[in-house]
Amino acid sequence: MTWLSILVPVYNVEHYLEACLDSVVAQLPDDGGVQVLVLDDRSTDGSWALMQRLAVRWPGRLELLRHERNGGLSAARNTMLDAATGDYLWFLDSDDKLLPGAIAGLQAIVRRHGPDVVLCDFQVWRERVRLKHRLRGEGHRHSFDGPARQLVHDRGRLLAGMLMTGELHAWSKISRRTLWAGLRFPVGRYFEDMATMPLMALRADSFYYEPHPWLAYRQRGSSILATMSTPKALDQSAALLPLAQALQGRPELQQPGLRLALAHQAARSLIGAMRHVCQCKAGEAQPQPSVLAEGLRHNFRAASPVSPEELARAYLRRGWWLRAAKFLRWFRATPTP
């Protein structure tokens, strides 16, 4: 029986793919039970040829898929969701890697507790690690703010813990395949993890947080945040709207911790998007920056369960003076015409 499917979307990662898949294959249990799906989204480099060579090197270890045309990350993940057979799903980006002991650690938790969702920590993987990176704690980044190493039955607490850290990426959350029935990543949108992973968590009855790095996240200069654009800013500010809509009328939204966490993440999204909009010059963005800024404020109000003033007061009650000032400054920012 297949207890785990590891889903690896591939697009123009020829230089990183072998290290990624080697980190997975090296940990596969001898008795099987782990499906490794690798999908090429019509790469234009040598990724597909490399996938074929690696499948020969590791016979029976990899299942190769290929799109007829490029569809983007969401489409690649959706295709693999349809092909997966494991009880649990683990998304792994093809330029990242699993750290030693990750699969065994997950299997032990699944066998003992059987949670709907397992969350893990990660480390930032750089070609050159400098002192400033160590001081930032990049060797161990926490993906969750909440109870650790225990089975918890509280989806409101799960959502709050995910939103407070802002680490909403798919690869730090292993989930039951049954949670994905009718749920898919939005095709053609940026910040697809932020729009989708909270909706998955809202379906979970239980979770288990393992505060140990199981994954190395490769920091690249071509990341979404490093190459911001107006379409990305708009998608970032709107990513939490599906969650806010799904929470309407649900008892979880009455939990103070979740209300603060959702408002806090909505504020982070607004700040990140507003930075880009305020840097745009006349003619560089359509519509004009002032119109875009008002749209970002509208999205914050639609996603946050509290008003901007209430969020600022909540920050102040916790002694987060700088955070309150930063949020209000960017919320009220007026782009230069």
State the first-to-last Cα distance of the chain, in angstroms, to the nearest integer.
61
Structure tokens at 183: 């749920």
Asked if residue 336 belongs to a domain, the reply is no
Residue for token pair 């490769």? 218
Q: What is the CATH number of the domain that holds 14?
A: 3.90.550.10
What is the rounded CA–CA span in Å between residue 185 and residue 247?
18
Asked if residue 293 belongs to a domain, the reply is yes
pLDDT digits (tens, 9 = 90+) for 296-333: 999 999 999 999 999 999 999 999 999 999 999 999 99
pLDDT digits (tens, 9 = 90+) for 95-111: 999 999 999 999 999 99
- Please say whether the dihedral angle defined by the alpha carbons of residues 117, 235, 84 and 219, taken in this order, is positive or negative: negative
* Cβ(89)–Cβ(81) below 8 Å: yes
Same domain, 207 and 324: no
Same domain, 234 and 169: no
Same domain, 254 and 203: no
Asked if residue 201 belongs to a domain, the reply is yes
Same domain, 173 and 307: no
Same domain, 114 and 234: no
Residue for token pair 């050159």? 128
Same domain, 218 and 235: no
Higher pLDDT: 21 or 224? It is 21
Same domain, 214 and 233: no
Asked if residue 99 belongs to a domain, the reply is yes
Identify the weakest region by mean pLDDT among 2-11, 74-83, 257-266, 286-295: 286-295
Under 8 Å CB-to-CB from 54, ≥6 apart: which residues?
A: 17, 18, 21, 62
Query: Which of 185, 207, 225 delimits the end of a domain?
Result: 225
Same domain, 161 and 126: yes
pLDDT digits (tens, 9 = 90+) for 252-268: 999 999 999 999 999 99
Asked if residue 240 belongs to a domain, the reply is yes
Predicted pLDDT of residue 43: 98
**3-state SS, residue 10:** strand
Compute how many other C-beta atoms are within 10 angstroms of the C-beta atom of residue 33.
15
Chain center to CA of 20? 18
Greatest CA separation for the chain: 64
What is the rounded CA–CA span in Å between residue 291 and residue 335?
9
Predicted pLDDT of residue 128: 67
As a whole number, mean pLDDT of residues 21-50 equals 97
| Residues forming a β-bridge with 254 | none
Predicted pLDDT of residue 279: 82
Same domain, 236 and 183: no
Same domain, 186 and 232: no
Could you give the number of structural domains in the chain? Answer: 2
Query: Which of 198, 225, 252 delimits the end of a domain?
Result: 225
pTM listed for this prediction: 0.94
58: domain range?
A: 4-225
Query: Which of 225, 248, 276 delimits the end of a domain?
Result: 225
Same domain, 105 and 177: yes
